[in-house]
Structure 1
Amino acid sequence: MKKVAVFSAHFPPHIVGGAEYSACQLARGLSARGYDVSVLSTAPDVAMRGTFVDEVGGFDVFRVLMPRPYQAFNFAGQKTLDKIIWHTQDLVDPRNVKIWKDFISDNNPDVAFVHVPQGLGFNGLDALARANIPTIIVLHDLSLLCVKTSMFRDGHDCQKLCGECKFGSLFKIAALKRIKQLHIVSPSQANLDQFLRISGIVPASASVIINPNEYPRPTVAQVNRARIKLRLLYVGQISAIKGVDFLIGAILSAKLIDRVELRVVGSGRDLEQLRLKYAKQTAISFSGHVSQQEVANAMASADILCVPSLWRENSPGVVIQALQIGLPVFASRTGGIPELVRDGIDGKLLRPGDENDWSESISSIIKDPGVLDLYRRKIRDSSDRFSASQSVNSYIDLIEKL
C-alpha cells in the first residue's frame, strides 16, 4: 500500500479552523483503508514538539517548532514588525526546506497532500519538487494567493491581487510550478475556478471533492419551537468577514429581537468586542469555542443555521453538518455556498451584506414557521448528498491514478 505524507501547519487536537479538521479526517480515512500515513505539522509550544500518535488513525504526527517570532497558532495581537518577519520567513527561510526535506527522507512517501502550508513554509514545496513526489494541493482557502487567506479587504472581495499579495504569491506560485506532478483539489468549484484563474497554474489535474468530514450526531432530541420564538444559530469564527455583526445588526434594525433568540458559537478576534457591544441584548448569547458534540447539540436545539458570510466562502463544513441532521440553512449567496445550499429546498440563499434581504427572510419565517417543516422534509429526502466515505473513495481514485 502506498505511503502518504500530509503537510498541515495545524492538525488536531490543535485546531484553528476547519482546514486542519478536514486534513485529519482525510488522513484517518486513508489510514483506515490501509494507507501508510504520516503527518508533518507545527507545535504550539516547546512542550508539544516531537512525534505523537493520532489516537484514532494510529499514524505518526511529527510536530516541529518553527523558527519564527511566534508560532502559527498565536497570530492574533502580534506586532507589525514581527508579522513582517514571520511572513518573510514563511516564504524564503531555507530552514523550511530542510524541515520538509528531512521529513520526506524519513518517511519516503509515494504521494504528498498539502493542506495548510502557511506556517510550515511555502518554500518547503521545493522539497517535494526536488524529490519529484506527486503532490495534491487541497485548497481549503486562498492562502496560496492572499496573505490573509481570504482575498477580502475593506469590506469587499478582491477581484485581483493587491501589491502585498502579488509579491508573496510570486514565491508561492513559482514553487507550485516547479512541482512536475501537481494536482489541485478543492471542496468547491468556485474556489477552484478562482485559484486557477488568478494563479495561471495549469496542473496535471484539477478536481472538486467535498471534504471527507464526519460529524457527531446530536445526543439531544430535535424540537420544533419556532412557533414560540425563532431560534437562530451561528457557528464559526468570530471575525468581520464572517458577518456576525452584520447579522445582529439586521435583526436589530428590523426590530425582530423580541421574536428571536440568536446563539453565537465559536471564537475569534472579534468575540470579546461583540460580547461587550451586545451585552444588554439578552436574546443574544455568545458561547465561545465548544466541542463538535456540543455544536451538534446546539444544531438540534435550533430552527435555522445562519451563515451570513461577507466574503467568498469555500465549502463551510458547518453547512454540511447542519444539512446532515436536517437543520435548514439561511446563507449568503457567495463562493461555494450555493454548491451546498439549494435555494428554497435546504433553506434560503441571501444577498451578502443586504440587511433588508436577511431581515425580511427571517421575518417571513416568524410569520409562517411552518415553512421550516417543508425545508426539513426536503433536506431529509436527500440526506445522503454528503458522504465522507464517498469523498475518501474519490481521493483514493486520484491517488491510484498517480
Structure 2
Amino acid sequence: MRGQTVLTSKITNFSQLLINRVKFMKICLINNLYEPYARGGAEKITKIIANGLVKAGHEVFIITTSPYFKQLKITFAKDWRGQANCPPSLALRRTSELRIYYLNSLYHNLNKYPKVLRLVWHIWNMFNFINYFRIKKILKKAKCVAVVTNNLMGLGFLTPLAIRRLKIKHIHLVHDLQLIHPAGLLLFGQENMINGQWARNYAGLCSRLFASPKAVIFPSRWLRDRHLDKIFFIKSKRIVLPNPVAPALAVAALKDNEIFKFLYLGQIEKHKGLNLLIQAYKRIREKFPRTELIIAGVGSGLEQVKIEAGRDNSIKFLGRQDEAQVNKLLSVCQSLVVPTLCYENCPTVILEAFSAGLPVLAADLGGISELLGENTAGLLFRPGNVADLADKMSWAIECPSDLTELARVGKEKVKQYSVENYIKELEGLIN
C-alpha cells in the first residue's frame, strides 16, 4: 500500500511538472522596427511585451528590420550558437534574454525617395516573397508555439501567409491604420482619404493577405471600429486591450513657486502638431512668465519647429531621450501636452504620463478620449484649435488642485494596464 502511495505521488508530481511546462512557450514577436532603430510607440510596446514574456518564463525571439548600407555597432559575424556566419541581408543579435533577427529593408529611408518610387516600394512590400521565405525559414527552424505580429510594413504582407502555412498560432496586434491606407495616418480634416477608390482597393487586398489570425488585439475601440468598417479579420477573435505600461520609476510633483513646465515627448513631425503647441504656448507666455515648454524628441520637422519657436529661451529642445531621461522628465514637468493633428490609437506617452502621475492635455482625436474619459483622467481640447489649447494650458496653471485630481485619476486608471495583466491576457489568447 505504501509503495502504491509513493507511485501515485510520483505520478502526480510528474503530471504537475508537465502542466507547469505547458505554461512556458517559445514565442516570436515580429515588428518592422526595434532597437536600435526604434522610433515610436509600437516599438516601445513590442519591447515591453518581449520583456514581460521573458519575465513570465517564456522563450522569446524577435524578427525586425535594419537599414541597408548601415552596420549595427554590434558585430553579427556569427549566429547565436557561434557557428555559421549570417548572410549580409540577415543579421542576428543575441542578448542575455533575446534573439533578434534583422532583415534589411528600405523602409527606414522611404521618406527620402520620390512618390513614384515609394508607390513601387509599397507594391513590393505587399508581395515581398524574399522576406516571405526568410521569415518562414526562421519560424520553421525555431519551432515556436505562437507568433505575435505588430507592424509589418517593411517586412512584407506575405508574413501572415508564412505563419498560416506553418500552422503556427497567430496573434496580430494592430497599432495604426497601415492596413487601411499605406500612410498609416489619418489626418484631422482629411478623413475621406481612407474612403477613396484606391484606398478601398488597397484595404481590400490587405484584408485578403492578412486573412483571419487566431486573435487580433486592438488597443482602442476606435481602431477596432475602423477595421471592422473595412471588413478586416472577420473570423478572428477580436478584443480591445489597451497597451501595457511599465511602472514609473519616479512620480511627478508640483511644488509652490516652481516654474510650470509643459512637456512634449515624441516624434517631431508635422502631423504631431508642434507648431500648434508653440503658438498656443506663446499666447500664454505674457500672462504666465514663469513657464517653460520642454520638447523632447527628433524628427524631420525639427528645423521648422525651431523656426516657429524663434528666440524664446523658455522653449527648450532636448533631442532624443533614453528611457532614464524620459522617466526624469515625466517626474520634473507639470503637464504633458499631446497636440497631435492625426487620429491616434492608444498613445504610449499618455500611459507613461498616467503612470508617473503627470496630468495630460491632449487633442480629442481617435482613441485618446477613451484614455482620458470625459475629462476625468486628463483634459481634452479641440484638435487644431490654438485658442482652445491655450485656454486649457492657462487652466492647468491656474487650477493646480484640479490638475492634481486629474493626475490622481490617471494614475489610478493606468493600474489596470500593467504588463503582468497584459501578458496574462496574451497567454490566454495563445492557449
After TM superposition, is the score higher than 0.5? yes
Distance 2:254 2:352 in 1: 18
Pairwise mapping of residues 3-402 of structure 1 onto structure 2 (< 5 A)? Answer: 3-45=26-68, 47-48=71-72, 49-55=90-96, 58-66=97-105, 71-152=106-187, 155-158=189-192, 160-177=194-211, 179=212, 181-214=213-246, 217-218=249-250, 222-225=252-255, 227-253=257-283, 256=286, 258-382=289-413, 384-400=415-431
Distance 1:4 1:75 in 2: 30
Amino acid at match of 1:142: L
Amino acid at match of 1:128: I
- Aligned residue for 1:39, secondary structure, equals strand
Distance 1:38 1:365 in 2: 44
Q: TM-score, normalised by structure 2?
A: 0.83
- Residue 316 of structure 1 contacts residue 337 of structure 1 at CA under 8 Å; is this kept in 2? yes
Q: TM-score, normalised by structure 1?
A: 0.89
Aligned-pair CA distance for 1:386: 2.5
- Residue 264 of structure 2 contacts residue 296 of structure 2 at CA under 8 Å; is this kept in 1? yes
Residues 125-172 of structure 1, C-alpha deviation per residue, up to 9 Å, x if partnerless? 22122223221110011111111111327x433473334433433332
Distance 2:32 2:412 in 1: 38
What percentage of aligned pairs have identical amino acids?
24
- Aligned residue for 1:122, secondary structure, equals coil
Q: What is aligned with 2:79?
A: none
Distance 1:354 1:104 in 2: 48
Distance 2:176 2:28 in 1: 20
Distance 1:133 1:161 in 2: 34
- Residue 16 of structure 1 contacts residue 73 of structure 1 at CA under 8 Å; is this kept in 2? no
Higher mean alpha-carbon deviation, 183-192 vs 271-280, is at: 271-280
Q: Please list every run of 5 or more consecutive structure 2 residues that lacks an aligned counterpart in the other structure.
A: 1-23, 73-89
Distance 1:330 1:360 in 2: 11
- Residue 61 of structure 2 contacts residue 99 of structure 2 at CA under 8 Å; is this kept in 1? yes
Paired residue total: 389
- Residue 123 of structure 1 contacts residue 172 of structure 1 at CA under 8 Å; is this kept in 2? no
Distance 1:249 1:265 in 2: 17
- Residue 123 of structure 1 contacts residue 171 of structure 1 at CA under 8 Å; is this kept in 2? no
Distance 1:75 1:225 in 2: 45
Aligned-pair CA distance for 1:123: 2.0
Higher mean alpha-carbon deviation, 359-368 vs 140-149, is at: 359-368
Amino acid at match of 1:237: Q
Residues 274-321 of structure 1, C-alpha deviation per residue, up to 9 Å, x if partnerless? 113323122211212111211111111111100112222111111111
Cα 1:215/1:80, change in 2 over 3 Å? farther
Cα 1:18/1:363, change in 2 over 3 Å? same
CA RMSD of aligned residues (A): 2.4
Higher mean alpha-carbon deviation, 262-271 vs 76-85, is at: 76-85
Distance 1:162 1:259 in 2: 48
Residues 236-280 of structure 1, C-alpha deviation per residue, up to 9 Å, x if partnerless? 111122111111122334555735311111111211221133231
Aligned-pair CA distance for 1:396: 0.8
From the CA coordinates, give the structure whose radius of gyration is larger: 2
Aligned-pair CA distance for 1:3: 2.7
- Residue 266 of structure 1 contacts residue 288 of structure 1 at CA under 8 Å; is this kept in 2? yes
- Residue 140 of structure 2 contacts residue 166 of structure 2 at CA under 8 Å; is this kept in 1? no
Distance 1:312 1:142 in 2: 9
Amino acid at match of 1:25: I
Distance 1:351 1:300 in 2: 27
